[in-house]
Chains A and B, each alone.
Chain A
Amino acid sequence: MTTKTREKVLEIRDLSISFSTTAGTVNAIRGVDMDLYRGETLAIVGESGSGKSVTAKATMGILAKNGNVESGSILYTYQHEGAPKTVQILEMKKRDMRRHINGKRIAMIFQDPMTSLDPTMPIGKQIMEGMIWHYKTTKKEAYEKAVELLTEVGIDEPEKRMKQYPHQLSGGMRQRVVIAIALACDPELLICDEPTTALDVTIQAKILELIQKIQQERGISVIYITHDLGVVAKVADYVNVMYAGRIVEKGTIDEIFLDPRHPYTWGLLSAMPDLDMEDDRLYTIPGSPPNLLHPVQGDAFSPRNVYALNIDDRREPPMFQISESHYAATWLLDEHAPKVALPPELQVRIDRMKKEGVR
C-alpha cells in the first residue's frame, strides 16, 4: 500500500435499486455504500442474486429497462484536461453517458466472451470502433494501436488476428480480445464482471495475471465481481462481501481473509474447496438466499445463520466499525452480544494461512 494520498475515483452512497417484474417489485440493491481509490482493486463477492452485477451496471449506466434507482448517488471522478472533474452518474443523460463515460472512462469486461463480441465483425474492427468514435482517431492510427493492444494482451500474430472473426478464436483468446477492446480508449476504471467464470482454470489463471499486469502498468482502478474467493485472494486490495442487496462486510483483503467477522463471510470462506484439507465433506451454508420480492425483516442472512441472535429476526444490523477500513453488519459485534468464536475448521484454516504467509 502506498503512503501518498489516495485519490477517490468512485463513491457510491446509499444506493437502492429495484426492478419491476410481473411478479412484483424486486429490491435488488438495498442501500449500498462503496468507495474506490485510484490504482486500487476492489472485489465484490457474493452469491448470484446478491446484487453484485446490478451495482456495476448502475455504475456504467446500463441498467435494464425495468430497473429503478430508488435512492442514492454515484459520484465518479476523472481527469478532465488536467484537473479532476466529478460527475453524478445517476443524473447524467444517457447520451452524455455514452459519449463521455462508457468505454472511454469506465470500461467493462463481461462474463461470456462469446456474447459480448459481435460475431459479424472482425475483431480488429471491434477494437478500433471505440477509439474512432470517442477520440476521432484516424483509421491508420487506430489500426496501429489495435495491433499494439493485441500484442499487449498476449495474442501472437496480431496482424493476422485483426481480420479474424470471434468464432475463429478460442475462449481464452476471445476474452483477451474483450480486454483489448476495454483498454482501447485508455479507461481509468475497469469493471470486470466475472471475467473468468466461463473459462477453464488454466486460462483463468492467465487472464487474471494479464489483468493484474495491465493494472500495474497503467495504474488504473479495477472492480472485480466474482463469487470465487480464490480469484479474490489473487487480485484484490479491498473486498466487499454482498448478501441480498447489501454489503455485509468490507475491509482489506487481509482483514476479510484472516479476521472475518460476519457469519456469512465465515460460511463463504469455509465453503472454499481447499487442496490441503483432508475432510471428505465440503462445508456448505445451509438454505438458499432470500427472495427479494418479499420485504426482508431483520437481517436477511438470519434464516441461514447458525449464530443468529434473537434480534436478527427483528432489526437489521447497522455497520459496525472494527478498524479504520474494516466494517461488518452483524449484531454479533454489538457490545451486548454474546462472544462467538470462529467455527473451529475456519480457525484452523486461518492459522494455516498465516503460517504459509510467513514462509
Chain B
Amino acid sequence: MTATETRTPLLEVRGLKQYFKTSHKFTVRAVDGVDFVIYPGETYGLVGESGSGKSTIGRSLIRLYDPTAGKIIFDGTEISGRLSAKQNDVLRTQMQMIFQDPMACLNPRKKVEDIIAQGLDIHHLCKNHEERSQKVAEILAKVGLSPEHASRYPHQFSGGQRQRVGIARALIMNPKLIIADECISALDVSIQAQVVNLMKDLQKETGTAYLFIAHDLSMVKYISDRIGVLHLGHLVETGTTAEIFANPIHPYTRSLLSAIPHPNPRTERTRVAQTYDYKAEGVDYHLGTQHLVEGSHYVLATDAELAKWTAAVN
C-alpha cells in the first residue's frame, strides 16, 4: 500500500480530543487524542464497543460538538475552530451523515420528497420546482426506490426502505464525505446486506468517501478499505482491512474478532470467545505510542506490551 501515502487526504484528523464536563469535578474523556486520515473515495471503518467514542468522533467531525482540542482538516480547510459562514456552508454541504435508527431520524410529518430535498431548499440549490422534483426522483432511483415513493410518509416504509431514504437525503448534496453512524445495526441481517451493497455501489458511482462507524466487524470487513479500532477514546489499532484481519495484534482487536459468531455449528458450539479486560491487563493507553507493525498497520502500545502481544499472537 505505497500508493496511499502519495494521495492527498480528504479528511485529516490530528490529536482530536472531545471532553464532556459532567460536573465541576468530573470530565468524561470520550475521545482522547485520535489521529487518522480518510482519502477521497475510500471507506474508513471505525469499530469499537459502545462507549468507546466512535459516535462522538463522527459528531465532532461534522461539528455537532465543538472539539476540545486537535485539528480537523477537511478538503484543505481547517474546520476545528470557529467556522466562518462560508466554511460552514461548505461543511454542511460537503459532509453528510446517515444516522443509526431509521425509525427516529426521519420527520414523521414530512413527505419523503421534502425530507430528501431539505438540504437543497436550505442551500437554495434548485431554481424551480421541476428541478427539485427531478433531482429527488433521480436520487430515489439511485437508492433503489421508485419515484412514486416521494409523496409518501416515512411510516409507510419498512426499516430497510427508510434507511434508503436516509442515504438518499445524504447523497442529494453530492457530498465528498458521508459519516455513517451505525447505519445498519438497527436492521435485519438480510436487509443489512442490501444496504451495505447499495452503499458500495453508490461509492463506485459517485466517488464519495465514507466514515463507517459500527460495532460489528463482519460487516465492516465487507465495506471498509481501512479500519481503526477504537477503545476508551484511543485508536488502539489501525491498518488496512486485510492487515487487521490477517494479523490482529492488540488484545482488544482480537477479542472483537473472536466475539463474532461463526455461522458454523460444528466449530461454534465449543468455541469460547476471548475476553479482554482493560483493567486486568494493566494496560494504560496514555503510556503507549503508535508502533508500526508493517505497511500501514499501527498498534498503540508500549515497547514491552508490543513484544508481549506479538509473542502471544505467534
Task: Given the known inter-chain contacts A200-B50, A206-B275, A275-B221, please indicate yes or no for A257 contacting B265, CB distance below 8 A.
Answer: yes
Tally the A-B contacts, defined by beta carbons under 8 Å: 126
- Inside 8 A of B245's CB, which chain A residues have their CB? 275
CB atoms of B193 and A282 under 8 A apart: yes
Residues of A within 8 A of B259 (CB): 201-202, 204-205
Q: Which residue of A lies closest to B270 (CB)?
A: A234
Residues on B with C-beta less than 8 A from A236 are 265
Q: Mask for B98-128, Cβ within 8 A of A = 1, else 0?
A: 0000000000000000000000000000000
The answer for the CA separation of A269 and B193 in the assembled complex, in Å, is 12
A273 touches B273 (CB 8 A): no
Question: Within 8 Å CB of A231, what residues of B?
Answer: 261
Min CB distance B184 to A, Å, is: 11
Report A-chain residues with C-beta under 8 Å of the C-beta of B160.
288
Nearest neighbor of B158 in chain A, beta-carbon distance: A288
Q: Is B194 an interface residue (CB 8 A)?
A: yes
A283 to B133, CA, bound (A): 33
* A48 interface contact, C-beta 8 A: yes
Whether B265 pairs with A201 at a CB distance below 8 angstroms is no
Q: A205-B273, A284-B194, A288-B158 are in contact. Are A233 and B261 (CB under 8 A)?
A: yes
Asked if B6 is at the interface (CB within 8 A of a chain A CB), the reply is no
Q: Which of B222, B260, B262, B276 contacts A201 (CB 8 A)?
A: B260
* B194 and A233 within 8 A (CB): no
Stretch of A63-71, A79-87, A217-225, A350-358 contacting B (4+ beta carbons < 8 Å):
A350-358
Is there an interface contact between B260 and A275, defined as CB atoms closer than 8 Å?
A: yes
Contact residues of A between 30 and 55, Cβ < 8 Å to B: 47-48
Q: Which of B28-36, B65-73, B211-219, B282-290 contacts A (4 or more CB under 8 A)?
A: B211-219
How would residues 171 to 212 of chain B score, 1 for a CB under 8 Å from any chain A CB and 0 otherwise? Answer: 000000000000000001111011011001000000000000
Alpha-carbon distance between A123 and B216 when the two chains are bound, in angstroms? 30
What residues of chain B lie closer than 8 Å to A272, measured between beta carbons? 189, 263
Interface residues on A, range: 35 or more
Contact of A228 among B189, B258, B275 (CB under 8 A): B189
Do B188 and A47 touch across chains, with their CB atoms under 8 A apart? yes
User: Chain A's nearest CB lies how many Å from the CB of B35?
Assistant: 24
Question: Assuming the A-B contacts A203-B49, A233-B261, are A268 and B190 also in contact, with contact meaning beta carbons closer than 8 angstroms in the complex?
Answer: yes
Partner of A274, one of B188, B190, B217, B218: B218
23 contacts between A and B (CB under 8 A): A170-B51, A201-B49, A209-B273, A227-B188, A232-B263, A232-B265, A233-B262, A234-B265, A234-B269, A236-B265, A254-B266, A257-B263, A257-B265, A267-B190, A273-B193, A273-B218, A273-B219, A273-B221, A274-B263, A280-B222, A282-B193, A284-B194, A288-B158
The 9 closest A-B pairs by CB, nearest first: A357-B266, A230-B261, A205-B273, A282-B193, A273-B218, A233-B268, A205-B259, A201-B259, A272-B263
Interface residues of B (CB under 8 A from A): 49-51, 158-161, 188-191, 193-194, 196-197, 200, 215-219, 221-222, 245, 255-269, 271-273, 275-276
Residues of A within 8 A of B (CB): 47-48, 170-171, 200-206, 208-209, 227-234, 236, 253-254, 257-258, 267-269, 271-275, 280-285, 288, 353-354, 356-357, 359
